[in-house]
Structure 1
């Protein structure tokens, strides 16, 4: 029979341990919230010092919870993805593949608008982070696969045309319209819909 030993914990130690865990969870949440707040307000590359200041914790606390800034970016990405993934994965409405793509375009406008500052921030950092670069390529594949799943075989056979659809419906196009050209949301959305309509005009129906 195997002997199993248990460490006895006094009543006085339990709340102390629980309290430490709660403070640890609270500090971590504050750090992530500070990162989200800073990036959301336009600081696309906040320093660890700045994150600590906004979170109201010490700099050492930041790196006690996160090995490096990459890990903090990763957690920020997970929070944002959890918010928008239900919208992304919802099947588009429409009787034809064209109508479905227009619905995808409208839905992506909402999603891209929500994640705009965070994705810009991650895009800047990805050239210095293998993880962020890998995650960036994962998202591109997801976006491309989503479009491809609703295209008829004859449309997919037009490789150049299919790539064009992906460019029109990409985050980079949305960033260019909203961030670089500073178009209002509805104007940017109208540009995407027009480009999409023109691109689909010469494609087969099915």
Structure 2
């Protein structure tokens, strides 16, 4: 008769850790899936149902929903910032503006549910407010790399260009006003170029 080997205490502990890590990841994935489907402020019950786990499991890992939102933000921030980074940053002003605004547009389309969910939660999350502010500063510095001409404009003009290049302005054009992606990109490029050359 084949001898059955009992798991050691260490093996049992490792198994619990792996299950815990898996459950935590299921919760975070469920939250992100719900947000990407347009549920901007999912409840703990909705997350538990999507992850196919008990709601007590959600609260065992995250004592309050803000902790869950903050962990999701921390896990995806670098990946999403990568959508803005890179690209061909050489060429004329027209070429660089075209590349920069197209890259922003593609990132904004991909990130729209996550950004809207973040906006919906800013009022109650100091961590998300801080992270969102940091991300806006990174985007501002990234635009400086695309457009060194920004060093030559007045502070007021620089702020206006930041506003025009923002998600909020993009969302107003593309979603609220139902303007196509290409037409929205063209409008933003035209406005920024007019300000740079004024």
Name the TM-score class by shorter chain. Answer: 0.7 to 0.9
Match of 1:60 among 56, 62, 80: 56
Match of 1:136 among 116, 132, 137: 132
**TM-score for the superposition, normalised by structure 2:** 0.85
Instruction: Tell me whether 1:123 sits opposite 2:119 in the alignment.
Output: yes
- Listed as ranges, the gaps of 5+ residues in structure 2 are 1-5
Task: Give RMSD over aligned pairs.
Answer: 2.2
Superposed structure 1 runs of 4+ greater than 6 Å apart: none
Match of 2:90 among 84, 90, 94: 94
Q: Is the Cα contact below 8 Å between 2:70 and 2:128 reproduced in 1? A: yes
Deviations 1:25-70 (A, max 9, x none): 1111111111011100011111111111111111111121123212
Q: Is the Cα contact below 8 Å between 2:150 and 2:158 reproduced in 1? A: no
Structure 1 residue 199: Cα displacement: 2.7
CA distance in 1, matches of 2:69, 2:92: 39
Match in the other structure for 2:69: 73
Match in the other structure for 2:155: 159
CA distance in 2, matches of 1:190, 1:152: 19
CA distance in 1, matches of 2:101, 2:165: 6
- Listed as ranges, the gaps of 5+ residues in structure 1 are 1-9
Aligned residues: 192
